[in-house]
Structures are given as C-alpha cells and as structure tokens.
Amino acid sequence: MGKVGVVTQLTIDDAAGRSVTQIQYGDWQEIARESGGTGLTCFPKRIVVVQPGQDLELEMKLISVTLNPPISPQRFRLMPPGGISVTRLSPP
C-alpha cells in the first residue's frame, strides 16, 4: 500500500482522448532540502515513462537527489558566443 497523497501515475491523453504517455512514480523517499526551505520533502527515486504508440519505455532510477542547493552568482554570468555583440542597457 502506498503513502496517502503520493502520485503514483500520470496519464497524458491526445485531443481524441487516447493515452499517449504514461508516467509511473515509485520508491518515494523523504529528502532534506539544502536551502530555500525547512524540513523534509518527498521525491520519487524511480520514474518510468511509457509511450505505447512509439514503442518506448524509459526507466530512470535516481541514485541521489539534492533539492535547492546553493548556487553561486558566478553561474549566472552572461558569456556570449564569439562574434556576438552585447549592448548594455542602463537602468531606467
């Protein structure tokens, strides 16, 4: 028996109401948040995506999950590709 209030499956239908994608969630684990919140949150460690019309089945098993890790502001620096001009705008 699963936990109450935990999503186990999501089905996506096309405009005609036919199921095109089924996503199954399992192996829910409580995970501590790094920052941006307190306490624990639940996260599925196993996700299966099935698209019957495409003969596709993809299973993902997460080994570790880090929620809301601190991110250095340096990661958000604009690094335009060579040959691209950048126009700096002054604040209004």
- pLDDT tens digits for 58-76? 999 999 888 778 888 888 8
Calpha distance 23→38 (Å, rounded)? 28
Each domain of the chain, given as residue ranges in start order, spans 9-65
Are 25 and 50 a contacting pair, CB within 8 Å? Answer: no
CA distances from 15 to 5, 9, 55, 80 (A): 28, 20, 20, 40
- pLDDT tens digits for 36-61? 566 678 889 999 999 988 899 999 99
